[in-house]
Amino acid sequence: MDIGPVQDEQQRTSKVWTVPNVLSMLRLAGVPLFLWLVLGPEADAWALALLMVSGVTDWADGYLARRLDQYSKLGEILDPVADRLYILAVVVGLALRDVIPWWVALLLPLRDLLLWGLVPFLRTRGYSALPVHFLGKAATFNLLYAFPLLLLGDGEGRIASLAEVFGWAFAFWGIGLYWWAGILYAWQVRTLLRETERGAPAGVREAPGG
């Protein structure tokens, strides 16, 4: 058996300093900066610009990972973590600014807490995590558009009014899809628990896609 290709693949996926990973790290560094801009000087224009840069880099790191063949295990973790932290930072910032009600700000992290609570059950069957579902990606897409629009809508004039309308439209779709994806994840975990026996080493298998 030729283990050379296997070792090469492991070395390739274990790399840290790749272009996509650096972009994801920069996105993570922008999270506290965004909160400071929104809650400190209330520099909404700069906060919006930061969110736009974050959106571009979110697309760019996935594109470059495919284009440059720079997939890595770290990148698989950094990208969704950066998305969730940005969503959390935005909803907390907007809630503290009274742009959105607190029930909206609480709905999203509650869903993530639900999914994190399922991970120990997955590990009893030897699975480390569930794969990203297309509904989750669609939800993230809607939310990453919704909250910048709502921030832009926190003003006066026709543009602000239109931004608020479209922002809430994206927000309701995003929240609905976010929870729908969460329910599907929970159902998938239930199915795995019923159909898979205990005993496999935790984290050695990848759960089948939904």
88 and 152 assigned to the same domain? no
Closest among 83, 106, 105, 65 to 27, alpha carbons compared: 83
SS3 44: helix
Structure tokens at 157: 């004039």
pLDDT score, position 199? 53
Domain boundary among 98, 120, 135: 98
Instruction: Show the CA angle centred on residue 136, arms to residues 193 and 117, nearest 5°.
Output: 40
If phi over 0 gives left and psi between -120 and 50 gives alpha, with beta otherwise, what is residue 71? Answer: beta
88 and 123 assigned to the same domain? no
- In which domain, by residue range, is 16 found? 1-98
pLDDT score, position 171? 92
Domain count, the chain: 2
Distance of CA 84 to the CA centre of its chain: 4
pLDDT score, position 7? 47
pLDDT score, position 174? 92
53 and 125 assigned to the same domain? no
pLDDT string in tens for the chain (210-residue length): 455 444 444 554 567 778 888 888 888 888 999 999 999 988 888 988 888 888 788 788 777 777 877 777 777 778 778 878 888 888 888 899 888 898 988 888 888 888 888 878 877 777 766 666 678 778 888 888 888 888 888 878 888 899 999 999 999 999 999 999 889 888 888 888 887 766 554 444 444 443
SS3 15: coil
pLDDT score, position 14? 62
34 and 87 assigned to the same domain? yes
pLDDT score, position 205? 46
SS3 155: coil
Q: Which residues pair with 205 in a beta bridge?
A: 127
157, amino acid identity: G
116 and 132 assigned to the same domain? yes
113 and 89 assigned to the same domain? no
1 and 85 assigned to the same domain? yes
